[in-house]
Amino acid sequence: MSAGAPLLEVSGLRKRFAEKRSIADGVRRRPPAVLTALDHVDVTVRPGETLGVVGESGSGKSTLARCILRLHEPDGGSVRFDGRDVLGASAGELRELRREMQMVYQDPYSSLNPRLRIGSAVAEPALVHGIVERGEEVEYAAELLERVGIRRESMRRFPHEFSGGQRQRIAIARSLAVRPKLLIADEALSALDVSIQAQLLGLLEEIRRDFGLTIVFIAHQLAVISRLADRVAIMYLGKIVETGATADVFANPRHPYTRALLEAHPRIDGTRVRKPAVRTDSPSPYAIPSGCRFHPRCPLAEERCAREEPAATPVDPVGGGHYSACHVLAPAAAEGARARDASAGAA
């Protein structure tokens, strides 16, 4: 694979969930309610890169993770991993793909088997996938656990004997045991206290470096990913509304939703007296607004925002990979692009 080729390439990914109809609705011939979780989502992650996916509840960020691993079958679009087609993969191919793409979940209380000693929890996947020979697995698991900060003397303990932060370390060791190329962390730090969260952020940074991992880090808070992610994708109601290098997006947010997320973040530097960034609640993913899906809450909404859905537009005409899907804040870029086209035509 060439250096520039993406490790993970998601394009046009779609997923809708139809709610089960009650008998009454069936009799009335009422169509089932349909939740749009992903609406043509495009994501690329290059090897060694960390992509932060940020969105609030109902934005589809977890569905995105699950569709990449085919834990949900997407309705359409494509997922390519390391040059292979994930959606068309056979059961055997999928098994290998899932070894290479590991997931770490939010709740380490439910993602570890309570009846399995943590040493076995880490050793077993490595044995099953033939990473180590029988007889070597204990030492292998001990080394991995030590790598994530769990003493080898604790190997014969059960998950309930550990705190939440330690359990998340164990879950990380377990996912590393099968030597993945990609780690998808779905709100992996959200359930932890802030002092422990910072410990785990440091650990993830270390293992990314030491294991040469590529990471997709999903979070509902921008601040959590600010340090870890090279690039961010901001999701809103099933769509990526802004994406770019983390520093660019934070310093120069070009979508009103990103701005709202940044403004709404509570800070400790003095009490603020100001109006909330957006007035209303997020609409239901069962009834996505027409045009730009953020327009009912947007302080900058214009008349056309309710009609036309904005396409992702480069913010900087020169490039840089910063895209925003907004009629109002992205046009500067559109004009820049037009100017560039004009000058290119003149030359």
Positions that interact with another protein (CB under 8 A)? 56-57, 163-166, 193-199, 201-202, 220-224, 226-227, 246-247, 250-251, 260-272, 275-282, 284
E strand segments, 246-311: none
Shortest Cβ 96–another protein spacing (Å): 35
The two tokens of residue 285 are 């993913």
> 164, 196 in Cβ contact below 8 A?
yes
- The residue type found at 126 is A
Shortest Cβ 61–another protein spacing (Å): 12
> Measured between alpha carbons, how far is 242 from 226 in angstroms, rounded to an integer?
15
Question: In terms of CB distance, is 280 or 343 closer to another protein?
Answer: 280
Strand bridging mode 50-54 / 84-85: unpaired
Question: In terms of CB distance, is 118 or 127 closer to another protein?
Answer: 118
Shortest Cβ 263–another protein spacing (Å): 8
How far is Cα of residue 146 from the mean position of the Cα atoms in its chain?
Answer: 27
Shortest Cβ 77–another protein spacing (Å): 26
> Measured between alpha carbons, how far is 26 from 59 in angstroms, rounded to an integer?
29
Shortest Cβ 190–another protein spacing (Å): 11
> Measured between alpha carbons, how far is 53 from 20 in angstroms, rounded to an integer?
29
Least Cα distance to 254 among 337, 327, 338, 201 occurs for 327
Question: In terms of CB distance, is 191 or 334 closer to another protein?
Answer: 191
Q: Where are the alpha helices (DSSP H) in 12-102?
A: 23-27, 61-68, 91-100
Question: In terms of CB distance, is 224 or 305 closer to another protein?
Answer: 224
Question: In terms of CB distance, is 116 or 262 closer to another protein?
Answer: 262
Question: In terms of CB distance, is 110 or 163 closer to another protein?
Answer: 163
Rg (CA), the chain: 22
Shortest Cβ 270–another protein spacing (Å): 7
> 256, 326 in Cβ contact below 8 A?
yes
Question: In terms of CB distance, is 84 or 286 closer to another protein?
Answer: 286
Sign of the torsion angle spanned by Cα atoms 269, 274, 277, 278: positive
> Measured between alpha carbons, how far is 255 from 297 in angstroms, rounded to an integer?
12
> 288, 39 in Cβ contact below 8 A?
yes
Question: In terms of CB distance, is 81 or 236 closer to another protein?
Answer: 236
Question: In terms of CB distance, is 140 or 257 closer to another protein?
Answer: 257
Question: In terms of CB distance, is 137 or 187 closer to another protein?
Answer: 187
Tell me phi and psi for residue 161, to 5 degrees: -85, 0
Shortest Cβ 119–another protein spacing (Å): 19
Shortest Cβ 254–another protein spacing (Å): 15
Shortest Cβ 109–another protein spacing (Å): 13
> Measured between alpha carbons, how far is 318 from 217 in angstroms, rounded to an integer?
28
The two tokens of residue 22 are 């009650």
- The residue type found at 340 is R
Least Cα distance to 329 among 343, 318, 314 occurs for 314
Shortest Cβ 48–another protein spacing (Å): 19
